[in-house]
C-alpha cells in the first residue's frame, strides 16, 4: 500500500531536535520528502541522511537568512512545499521588568516574525497550485496566561491569531491550516528557559506524540480541515 504522504513535500522549521525533529521523522516515514530548517547544520545533516530529506541551515531570526533558506527550499523541492510546519521557537521565562531587550527581540523574531515570513513566502505557490497545508505549532500558552510568561505568551497568542486568520482567508482555497497546541513537552526547550516552577520532565508529553498529532492533521482526506488540536498529558 502506498504511504499516505508519498510524492508530497514538506518543510519543518526547528527540525534539528525536539518536536521539529520528531515531526520531520514522522512525515518522512509517511513518505514525504522533508526540507529541514534550523541553525545546527550537523544535526540537520544527520537527520537528512536518516530521512532522505534536505538540510537547509539558517538562522530564522534573520529575515535575509530566512529568505535565502526559503529560496534554497524552493530550488531543491522545485515548487512550494505541500506541507509547512512552523515549529521553530524559543521559550524564555522572566518577569517583564527582567527581560533583556535582546531576549525580547530574539523571541519575537523567531516565534512570530519567522512564521509570518515563512507563510508569506510559500503561500503564493500554494495559492497558484490550489493545495497546501500550513501547520502552526502553538502552545497551551497561546491562550492561557502564566506569570513570567509575557514574552512567550505574546508570541504564541500572535501565532495563534495568524493561524485563525489564515484559516478564515484560506477557506475554500484548497489550502488547509491547522494549529497544533501542546502542553509541556519533554524537549531541550526547558534546559535554558530561565526561572520558574516547571513540571517534571517525566510528567510531560513526548515530542513524538506532538509529531503524531501533526501527522494526523496532514493525512486527513482533502475535504477535512483539522482546525486545531490541543494536547496535554493524561
Ligand atoms: N517543549 C514544550 O514544552 C513545548 C510546549 C508547547 C509548544 N512548544 C513549541 O514547540 C516548538 C518546538 O519546541 P521544542 O520543545 O521542540 O524546542 P527545542 O527542543 O528547543 O527545539 C527548538 C528548535 O528550534 C530551532 N531554533 C532555535 N532557534 C532558531 C533560530 N534562530 N533559527 C532557526 N531555528 C532555530 C532549534 O534548532 P537550532 O538550535 O539548531 O537552530 C530547534 O530545532 C516551539 O515553537 C515551542 O514553542 C513546545
Tens of pLDDT, residues 201-231: 999 999 999 999 999 999 999 999 999 999 9
Mean pLDDT across 79-102: 98
3-class DSSP string for the chain: CCCCCCCCEEEEECCCCHHHHHHHHHHHHCCCEEEEEECCHHHHHHHHHHHCCEEEECCCCCHHHHHHHHHHHHHHHCCCCCEEEECCCCCCECCHHHCCHHHHHHHHHHHHHHHHHHHHHHHHHHHHHCCEEEEEECCHHHCCCCCCCHHHHHHHHHHHHHHHHHHHHHCCCCEEEEEEEECCECCHHHCCCECCCCCCHHHCECHHHHHHHHHHHHCCCCCCCCCEEEECCC
Tell whether ligand 1 has an atom less than 6 A from the beta carbon of residue 57: no
CATH topology of domain 9-231: Rossmann fold (3.40.50)
Tell whether ligand 1 has an atom less than 6 A from the beta carbon of residue 51: no
Mean pLDDT across 97-117: 98
**Is the separation of the CB atoms in 11 and 31 below 8 Å?**
no
Q: Whole-number mean pLDDT of the chain?
A: 97
Q: At what angle do helices 18-29 and 207-218 cross, to 10 degrees?
A: 40
Instruction: Classify burial at 118, counting beta carbons within 10 Å of its beta carbon; exposed 0-12, middle 13-18, buried 19 or more.
Output: buried
Tell whether the model's pLDDT for residue 196 goes beyond 90.
no
Which residues are CB-neighbours of 99 under 8 A, at least 6 positions away? 92, 150, 151
How far is it, in rounded angstroms, from Cα 232 to Cα 125? 34
Mean pLDDT across 101-105: 98
Q: What are phi and psi of 79, to 5 degrees?
A: -170, 170
Q: What's the confidence (pLDDT) of residue 193? A: 81
User: What is the CA(43)–ligand 1 centre distance, in A?
Assistant: 13
Positions marked catalytic: 152
**Is the separation of the CB atoms in 30 and 2 below 8 Å?**
no
User: What is the CA(19)–ligand 1 centre distance, in A?
Assistant: 7
Q: What's the confidence (pLDDT) of residue 192? A: 84
User: What is the CA(1)–ligand 1 centre distance, in A?
Assistant: 34
Kindly indicate the confidence band of residue 1, based on its pLDDT and cuts at 50, 70 and 90. confident
Return the best residue to mutate from 69, 88, 144, 233 for the ligand 1 pocket (most ligand atoms within 8 A of CB): 88
User: What is the CA(175)–ligand 1 centre distance, in A?
Assistant: 25
Three cell numbers at 46?
Answer: 544527520
pTM exceeds cut of 0.85: yes
Q: Which residue has the higher pLDDT, 194 or 76?
A: 76
pLDDT, tens only, 136-195 = 999 999 999 999 999 999 999 999 999 999 999 999 999 999 999 999 999 999 998 887
Mean pLDDT across 24-44: 98
Tell whether ligand 1 has an atom less than 6 A from the beta carbon of residue 60: yes
Nearest CA to ligand 1 atom 5: 184
Tell whether ligand 1 has an atom less than 6 A from the beta carbon of residue 19: yes
Tell whether ligand 1 has an atom less than 6 A from the beta carbon of residue 89: yes
Q: What's the confidence (pLDDT) of residue 195? A: 73
Domain positions in the chain are: 9-231
Instruction: Classify burial at 234, counting beta carbons within 10 Å of its beta carbon; exposed 0-12, middle 13-18, buried 19 or more.
Output: exposed
Mean pLDDT across 43-62: 98
Three cell numbers at 182?
Answer: 501542546
Q: What's the confidence (pLDDT) of residue 124? A: 98
Tell whether ligand 1 has an atom less than 6 A from the beta carbon of residue 91: yes
Tell whether ligand 1 has an atom less than 6 A from the beta carbon of residue 152: no
Atom of ligand 1 nearest to the CA of 19: 16
Q: What's the confidence (pLDDT) of residue 197? A: 80
User: What is the CA(77)–ligand 1 centre distance, in A?
Assistant: 23
Amino acid at each position: 500500500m502506498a504511504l499516505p504522504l508519498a510524492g508530497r513535500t514538506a518543510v519543518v522549521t526547528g527540525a534539528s531536535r525536539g518536536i521539529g525533529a520528531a515531526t520531520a521523522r514522522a512525515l518522512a516515514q509517511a513518505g514525504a520528502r522533508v526540507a529541514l530548517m534550523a541553525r545546527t547544520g550537523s544535526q540537520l545533516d544527520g537527520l537528512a541522511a536518516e530521512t532522505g530529506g534536505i538540510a537547509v541551515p539558517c538562522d530564522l531570526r534573520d529575515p535575509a537568512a530566512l529568505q535565502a533558506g526559503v529560496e534554497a527550499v524552493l530550488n531543491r523541492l522545485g515548487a512550494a512545499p505541500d506541507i509547512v510546519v512552523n515549529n521553530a521557537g524559543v521559550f524564555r521565562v522572566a518577569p517583564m521588568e527582567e527581560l533583556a531587550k535582546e531576549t525580547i527581540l530574539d523571541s519575537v523574531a523567531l516565534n512570530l516574525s519567522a512564521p509570518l515570513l515563512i507563510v508569506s513566502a510559500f503561500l503564493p505557490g500554494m495559492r497558484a497550485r490550489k493545495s497546501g497545508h500550513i501547520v502552526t505549532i502553538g502552545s497551551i500558552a497561546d491562550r492561557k496566561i502564566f506569570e513570567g510568561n509575557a514574552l512567550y505568551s505574546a508570541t504564541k497568542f500572535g501565532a495563534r491569531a495568524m493561524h485563525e486568520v489564515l484559516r478564515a482567508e484560506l477557506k475554500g482555497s484548497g489550502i488547509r491550516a491547522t494549529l497544533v497546541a501542546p502542553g509541556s513537552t519533554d524537549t531541550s526547550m526547558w534546559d535554558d528557559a530561565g526561572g520558574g516552577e516547571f513540571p517534571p520532565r517525566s510528567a510531560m508529553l513526548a515530542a513524538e506524540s506532538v509529531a503524531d498529532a501533526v501527522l494526523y492533521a496532514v493525512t486527513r482526506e482533502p475535504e477535512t480541515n483539522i482546525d486545531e488540536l490541543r494536547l496535554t498529558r493524561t
